[in-house]
Amino acid sequence: MRRVIVMLILFISLIFPNHVRSQQASISLELSDLTNLDLGGLIMSRGLSNQPRIARIVILPENKEVYIELVAVWKEDASSSFRQISTFKSNSFLSRVVFNDDFEIIGGDGNWDKDLVSDLISKGKPTGILGFTVRLFDKNNLFLAQDYKEFFFLNPSPTISIISPLEGNAYDVGSVVAIWTPVQGATNYKILASIVPDGSSSAEAALKSANPLIDNREVGDVTSVDLRTILDRQWLGGQKVVFSVTAIIPGTGGGSSLPSVPVTFLLNKQGEVSGPIVSPELLKLVEVINGQVSQDFINRIMRGEVSIEGITDETDQNVDQNDLQRILINLLVNKESIISIKFTRKN
């Protein structure tokens, strides 16, 4: 019995110092608002070292040789589970209060799930939960303490809306220009259009017909197209047409697609007058500024409420219509050349 008691006392004496040390050591992670930062860049930063000062790590006691591990996880929604997206292990340093940019000096190694990071980047500002765990170890690789913080990214889901044609309006058979709002992360758009039979009460059902006018035609990374130029079969004056646009967003597992709400419009019979007439210059202007100005302003143009009274350059010299056409066409082809768009209301 005495031998058992002696062994028990020895066992307790061996583990007690470690237990006390574990209780005395602490680490606390404090994060500022991350929601306005680029999520992909944030995840791939080594210990967040390539970011502005957004994280503060308090380690106690100070002046002990330690290192930390930082693990980031992502959860897309309530029905999914957390996935590990990156890890970072620092080099050894003396414990103290450190900020994320200090790890540029402290150094360390990290890795990340490239497929998941690529998926998050392609979605722009995804909705989900980003979690960070920071673990503290001593120089002998003994775990001391940890802390965990979560950030909720509640950015709205991407949407796509059809700007033109307008619901219920009539258009000439020779040209119907479709314009839609851009979707961040989309690399392609598909067009589907069908005839709505007389007496049909469901545009959605007509859209799924077996003989569409436009059968999911891919148009590339654009936000406008003349529907007349991509028809799979001819349409006729007097017909009612329903169409929708679907944004294709690449990512892991095949990516995702985002369809618009279907829009129904009419085709004029010969001799009939169209609805709101929007000049070719204004249509091209809408294509140029689409996604960069308020949707209300775009809608007003498409309803025929906006007209061009005159065009001047930066020196207040008049620009004729031919020059305006060339400028707009050049901007459509080279949208990256647009530095900024500014509107000034004139009474």
Give the range among 86-100, 150-164, 213-227, 247-261 with minimum mean pLDDT.
150-164
- Same domain assignment for residues 343 and 324: yes
Residue 10 forms part of a structural domain: no
Q: Is residue 4 a part of any domain in this protein?
A: no
Are residues 28 and 141 located together in one domain of the fold? Answer: yes
Average pLDDT, rounded, for the chain: 77
Give a yes or no: residue 339 inside a domain: yes
Phi-psi map region of 214: left, alpha, beta (phi>0 left; psi -120 to 50 alpha): beta
Residues 123 and 178 occupy one common structural domain: no
Residue 175 covered by a domain: yes
Among 25-29, 141-145, 239-243, 294-298, the range scoring the smallest mean pLDDT is 294-298
Kindly report the backbone phi and psi dihedral angles of residue 180, in degrees, each rounded to the nearest multiple of 5, phi listed first: -140, 165
Tell which residue, 39, 95, 103, 23, has the closest CA to residue 70.
103
Domain-located, residue 11: no
Structure tokens at 37: 């930062």
324 and 246 belong to one structural domain: no
My answer on whether 60 and 164 are in the same domain is: no
Q: Give the closest residue to 234 by CA, choosing from 254, 250, 220, 214.
A: 214
Instruction: Specify whether 122 is located in the same domain as 177.
Output: no
Q: Where is the domain boundary, 153, 172, 187?
A: 153
pLDDT at 22: 45
Question: Do both 198 and 316 map to the same domain?
Answer: no
- Residues 253-295 pLDDT 10s: 566 788 888 999 999 887 565 556 666 677 777 777 776 667 6
Answer with the one of 275, 290, 322 that is the final residue of a domain. 275
CATH of the domain at 129: 2.60.40.2550
Q: Is residue 5 part of a domain?
A: no
β-strands 170-171, 263-267 pairing: parallel
- pLDDT confidence of 300, banded at 50, 70, 90? confident
Given a cut of 90, is residue 86 above it in pLDDT?
no
The predicted-structure confidence for 7-64, as pLDDT tens digits, reads as follows: 444 444 444 444 434 458 999 998 776 655 556 555 555 566 666 677 889 999 999 9
Average pLDDT over residues 220-229: 90
Q: Do both 55 and 132 map to the same domain?
A: yes
Boundary of a domain, candidates 153, 176, 209: 153
Sheet of 26-31: strands edge to edge? 26-31, 55-60, 97-99
Range of the domain at 340: 276-347
Contact 95, 58 (CB under 8 A): no
In sign, the C-alpha dihedral spanning 33, 64, 86, 121 is positive
Summarize pLDDT for 320-342 with one digit per residue, the tens. 766 776 777 667 656 666 766 66
**In this structure, is residue 19 part of a structural domain?**
no
Q: With CA atoms as reference, report the closest residue to 216 among 192, 243, 246.
A: 192
pLDDT value, residue 115? 79
Same domain, 64 and 128: yes
CATH number of residue 232's parent domain: 2.60.40.10
Tally of structural domains, the chain: 3
Q: How high is the pLDDT of residue 18?
A: 47
What residues does 211 pair with on adjacent strands?
none
User: Contact, 306 vs 300, CB < 8 A?
Assistant: yes
User: Residues 161, 180: contact at Cβ < 8 Å?
Assistant: yes
- pTM for this model (two decimals): 0.47
